[in-house]
Amino acid sequence: MSGSTKAMTIVTCAALVLISAYTVALGSSGWLWFGWIVLMVATIGMAAADSTESVAGRGPRAGGAGPAPR
């Protein structure tokens, strides 16, 4: 996981805590929860893109199974 993905995950978790505290103290706000869901989906997308990027960079010459040299 890259540094930007870790930072996005931390921001998403912090936003969840803050929105939960806001909801307990002042009442629910649908727009805040909608915004958090959008943030969570973006974070999941970043994590998915980050993981496919690391898998795509591997090839037969990078230690994977490939044809045997002659």
Summarised one tens digit per residue, pLDDT across range 9-40 is 999 999 999 999 999 999 988 999 999 999 99
Question: Mean of the per-residue pLDDT values for the chain?
Answer: 85
Q: Report whether pLDDT(62) > 70.
A: no
Give pLDDT, residue 51. 85
Among residues 37, 38, 36, 51, which one has the least CA distance to residue 6?
A: 51
- Spatial CB neighbours of 41, under 8 Å, sequence gap ≥ 6: none
Q: Which pLDDT score, from 0 to 100, does residue 1 have? A: 76
Alpha-carbon radius of gyration of the chain: 19
- 60 pLDDT more than 90: no
Please state, in angstroms and rounded to a whole number, the distance separating the CA atoms of residues 28 and 18.
12
Tell me how far apart the alpha carbons of residues 30 and 23 are, in angstroms, rounded to a whole number.
10
